[in-house]
């Protein structure tokens, strides 16, 4: 009697297992933002608590690159330090899963990263606004 119970329990458990939803890779979502992006403005709060976009000087502008699999790189192609493990692109949560190996960035050993596993990205045509955990929003263009 116990063996019949165990067999039915194992059968029920094996039928209830589903494939991981991450097996279907959302390539189309990352392809919309893939490429080089240059920072142009940063959001600041004014004295009356209103958000104001301030231009970033060309010398202080940052360039990031999104690969087709969502991996975030620096302008020189090295992996970005403190990069997130997932992105929320226009409200859709997508895990970043590198499809090819990444070289080691020696500069990352000197950086103390604050845990920010998810960045929120608002994408519209050729404009991207990135919100990270404890930093002001930054506006990028292609």
| Distance separating alpha carbons of residues 140 and 142, to the nearest angstrom | 7
Tokens 């992105």 belong to which residue? 87
pTM, rounded to two decimals: 0.75
- Contact, 141 vs 37, CB < 8 A? yes
How would residue 30 be classed by pLDDT, with cut points 50, 70 and 90? confident
β-strand partners of 37 = 64
H or E element, residue 7 = helix 2-16
Proportion of the chain above pLDDT 90, given as a percent: 58
Per the CB < 8 A criterion, the answer to whether 122 and 129 are in contact is yes
Domain ranges of the chain: 22-141
pLDDT per residue as tens digits for the range 55-64: 999 899 999 9
Mean pLDDT in residue range 15-31: 55
Bridge pairing between strands 118-124 and 86-89: parallel
Contact predicate 39/61, CB 8 Å: yes
At residue 22, does pLDDT exceed 60? no
Helix and strand element counts for the chain (H, E): 2, 9
């Amino acid at each position: 009697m116990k063996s019949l119970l165990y067999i039915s329990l194992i059968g029920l458990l094996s039928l209830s297992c589903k494939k991981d939803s991450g097996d279907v890779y959302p390539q189309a979502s990352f392809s919309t933002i893939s490429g080089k992006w240059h920072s142009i403005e940063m959001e600041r709060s004014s004295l009356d608590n209103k958000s104001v976009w301030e231009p970033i000087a060309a010398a202080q502008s940052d360039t990031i690159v999104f690969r087709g699999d969502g991996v975030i790189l620096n302008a020189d192609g090295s992996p970005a330090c403190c990069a997130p493990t997932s992105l929320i692109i226009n409200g859709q949560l997508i895990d970043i899963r590198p499809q090819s190996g990444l070289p080691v960035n020696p500069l990352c050993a000197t950086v103390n990263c604050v845990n920010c596993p998810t960045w929120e990205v608002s994408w519209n045509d050729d404009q991207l606004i990135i919100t990270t955990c404890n930093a002001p929003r930054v506006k990028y263009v292609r």
